Structure 1
């Protein structure tokens, strides 16, 4: 029951993320709001990467970021970021579909080289916070990036100022 709810939200939100990533023109990829921020390409690539964490989060009780490896590929073109997103989304969907709800209350923790980064918590809390909400946060940032670079923003939960009424 919980798995079906997570999967339904995942599929709906993956479609929204896809629309947002497809709205990024190559001309905006190098833009960033300040020296402290990522470029649009780096932010979009991170959004795609979050989907790469589903398999380890759903199927393991520990994720050690100290040994984590991820090949983001060539992020100089938006189409490459979208291709990586599609690859990661397909794998993430399989991870949800193949997950066992009996493990959702297992204690989960994130390490970096053996040191705890976050306090241990139930896996379902990590799924909602670390995977889902974390992604929504970065999508909001990306919307601001699109607006700041003069690009249209697709509606995710209804029309935006760019939509004709």
Structure 2
């Protein structure tokens, strides 16, 4: 629960770092991986996380510089990493400069409903977690190592010379 700006900034630091670890593990070739013919590719999911920062936080009235929601998906994983890093850094800087704890109680129109800014921020975090989970499945299918986010991943346990816990 986001009760104050520090709550968000602390959680966002961990979650955005985790998203960057996932994005940095992608290869250009892996961006085409998909579960089925009618599902999103790994690249589409990755780009969705990048442009969702602008799309969601842009509805709150915060003034920041992020990759616009309409921006076409780049061809390389490196471009996605840089776009995500810049967008994430931009909202953190803007939040610190423009908002107070009272800003979290302001209501904004989100998809035809009134949400508090705190709810928007919490939803942004959950959105990142949700799509990272989808991405890690596609990463395994593509033969990529999956980074740990809330502790070591199976790949990291094996790299430590340990047996991965069940």
State whether TM-score is above 0.5.
Answer: yes
- With structure 2 as the length reference, what TM-score do the two structures score? 0.81
SS, match of residue 119 in structure 2: helix
TM-score by length of 1: 0.81
1:51 aligns with 2:44: no
Contact persistence 1:54–1:96 (CA under 8 A): no
In structure 1, the residue matched to 2:38 is 36
Does 1:140 pair with 2:133? yes
Counterparts of 2:109 and 2:56 in 1: how far apart (Å)?
14
Shift of 1:90: 1.5
After TM superposition, which residue ranges in structure 1, 4 or more long, deviate above 4 angstroms? Answer: none
* Mapped contact 2:31–2:77 kept (Cα < 8 A): yes
TM-superposed deviation, 1:128:
0.5
Q: Is the 8 A contact 1:107 1:121 kept in 2?
A: yes
- Which among 112, 116, 119 is matched to residue 122 of structure 1? 116
Number of residue pairs the alignment of both structures matches: 150
Which residue number in structure 1 is paired with residue 10 of structure 2? 8
The structure carrying a bigger helix percent of its residues is 2
CA contact (8 A) 2:47 2:73 kept: no
Q: 1:64 matched to which residue of 2?
A: none
Task: Indicate if the aligned counterparts of 2:32 and 2:43 stay in contact, CA closer than 8 A.
Answer: yes
| 1:35 partner SS | coil
CA-based RMSD of the aligned residues comes to: 1.9
TM-fit CA distance, 1:52: 2.3
Which 5+ residue runs of structure 2 have no aligned equivalent?
63-67
1:1-165 equivalence runs, <5 A: 2-53=4-55, 55-59=57-61, 70-98=69-97, 99-111=99-111, 116=112, 119-129=113-123, 131-163=124-156, 164=158, 165=162
- 2-side partners of 1:108 and 1:144: how far apart? 34
Give 3-state SS (helix, strand or coil) of 1:33's partner. Answer: coil
